[in-house]
């Protein structure tokens, strides 16, 4: 019996070119013509910033001709970074007033629920490394994930993940005040894992980095592991919906994401009542 050929073993840009080399960043199969030397391994043209279409780089964006395209400028990531920096400057200039207005403290959930999202944009004033680490992580992960799913879906993913982190804080650590974008950033980790798995990408390096960051949340004082896990789970769920509904009626995807939001709201209400 003749063996069947696995389509994942063929270049995403040249379907007839068999290859077993994967892009180190996104996991797509790339033939010698598409392999761009990186510091470690190879990158595909999309991840290397080469402006072309027809591959999996723009995983959820399709042009009128049906071809898949990828943007080379992750504008939403830059806007989010700009907001975080501007808010941090406001925190310092206001003597901490902005921090008190935007941070999330579970006992205030019933009267000021918006704090569950605004807390994403404020960071610790006692250590500049908090905003530097989160800002760098957002730049690295954000530029990659946004190129895969587009700016609108990226912002939705980021905000829902941050919200999910706050929800788990409210349920598991109801007396803790939290600040920072780490819950949303862990959501990007979860989303990237799901997206890479969807097209057979290797996740070993990602899992190592993710595991190390999760462990830090348990052993380093002052870090909210609840926000990390809540964001990670939410990001993975959101990305799974995006992956499963790509190429279908956009309304179905919006409905799925809406259900995630409603689920988080329901858990929030549960935390308030209990």
Q: Cite the active site residues.
A: 182, 228
Instruction: Return d(Cα 133, Cα 122) in angstroms, integer.
Output: 13
Q: Residues, the chain, total?
A: 274
Burial (CB count <10 Å: 0-12, 13-18, 19+), residue 58 = buried
Q: Which two tokens stand for residue 93?
A: 């200039």
Q: Which two tokens stand for residue 44?
A: 């595909």
Residue 69 bridge partners (DSSP): 53
What would the two tokens of residue 125 be? 């004033």
- Rounded to 10 deg, the angle between the 151-172 and 75-93 helix axes is 50
DSSP H/E element including 272: helix 250-273
In this structure, the dihedral spanned by the alpha carbons of residues 13, 19, 20 and 24, taken in order and rounded to 10 degrees, is: -40
């Amino acid at each position: 019996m003749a063996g069947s050929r696995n389509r994942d073993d063929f270049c995403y840009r040249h379907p007839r070119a068999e290859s077993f080399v994967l892009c180190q960043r996104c996991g797509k199969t790339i033939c010698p013509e598409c392999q761009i030397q990186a510091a470690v391994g190879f990158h595909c043209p999309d991840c290397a910033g080469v402006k072309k279409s027809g591959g999996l780089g723009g995983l959820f964006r399709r042009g009128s001709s049906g071809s898949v395209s990828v943007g080379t400028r992750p504008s939403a990531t830059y806007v989010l970074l700009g907001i975080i920096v501007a808010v941090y400057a406001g925190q310092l200039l206001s003597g901490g007033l902005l921090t008190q207005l935007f941070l999330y403290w579970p006992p205030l959930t019933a009267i000021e629920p918006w704090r569950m999202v605004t807390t994403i944009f404020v960071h610790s004033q006692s250590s500049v490394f908090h905003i530097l680490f989160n800002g760098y992580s957002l730049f690295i992960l954000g530029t990659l994930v946004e190129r895969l799913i587009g700016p609108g879906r990226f912002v939705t993913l980021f905000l829902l993940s941050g919200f999910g982190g706050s929800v788990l804080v409210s349920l598991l650590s109801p007396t803790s005040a939290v600040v920072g974008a780490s819950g949303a950033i862990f959501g990007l980790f979860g989303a990237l894992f799901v997206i890479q798995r969807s097209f057979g990408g290797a996740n070993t390096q990602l899992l190592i980095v993710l595991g190390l960051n999760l462990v830090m949340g348990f052993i380093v004082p002052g870090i909210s592991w609840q926000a990390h896990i809540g964001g990670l789970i939410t990001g993975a769920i959101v990305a799974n919906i995006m992956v499963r509904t790509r190429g279908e009626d956009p309304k179905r995807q919006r409905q799925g994401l809406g259900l995630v939001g409603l689920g988080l709201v329901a858990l929030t209400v549960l935390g308030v009542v209990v």
